[in-house]
Amino acid sequence: MITKYLIISKEILPDYFDKVIEAKKLIDSNQVKGVSEAVKKVGISRSTYYKYKDYVFVPSNQLGGRKATLSLVLEHHKGVLSNILNIIADKNGNILTINQDIPINDKAIVSITLDILDLSITLQHLIETLTKLKGVASAKLVAIE
């Protein structure tokens, strides 16, 4: 289902991958005020953090490995979110949550968590399909479990 991802033992990876995950946890749990403080605390550069933050995830302990969270930046036009939801449904994705911010400068940030167990295409292909839609400025994977 997810052809662009690998499961690799962290024993063979450089330690900065672990530190990026640690920095993300510090930021997510509000233990630090921002990225600068987090990277200083874990001992990596800001550039290392930004280079890898969207590509390094910790697997969930939940059975099934079936949830993914996407972050999308949408133009403020009628029907854009509706088109996205229809495509996800057409590909057998099951929407679990949707969070949408109010549009600022005619762009709205939307976070969608979906069940990908029965997805009829790869998650990467879904993201690429959504990115090509009119009104979608960007779409990226935030987390997967």
Residue-range domains of the chain with CATH: 12-52 (no CATH), 67-144 (3.30.70.260)
- Starting from the edge strand earliest in sequence, which strands make up the sheet with 67-75, in order? 94-100, 107-115, 67-75, 136-144
Residue 60, pLDDT score: 58
Q: Which parts of the chain register pLDDT below 50?
A: 1-2, 61-63
- Would you state the pLDDT for residue 128? 95
pLDDT for 1 equals: 42
Asked if 20 and 52 count as a contact pair (C-beta separation under 8 A), the reply is yes
What is the rounded CA–CA span in Å between residue 28 and residue 38?
A: 10
pLDDT (tens digit per residue) in 95-112: 999 999 999 999 999 999
Q: According to the model, what pLDDT value does residue 8 have?
A: 81
pTM of the predicted model as reported, rounded to 2 decimal places: 0.60
The torsion angles phi and psi of 124, rounded to 5 degrees, stand at -60, -40
In the chain, the N- to C-terminal Cα span, in Å, equals: 13
Handedness of CA 138, 10, 66, 122 (dihedral sign): positive
Question: Which of 4, 109, 99, 110 has its CA nearest to residue 57?
Answer: 4
d(CA 89, CA 73): 19
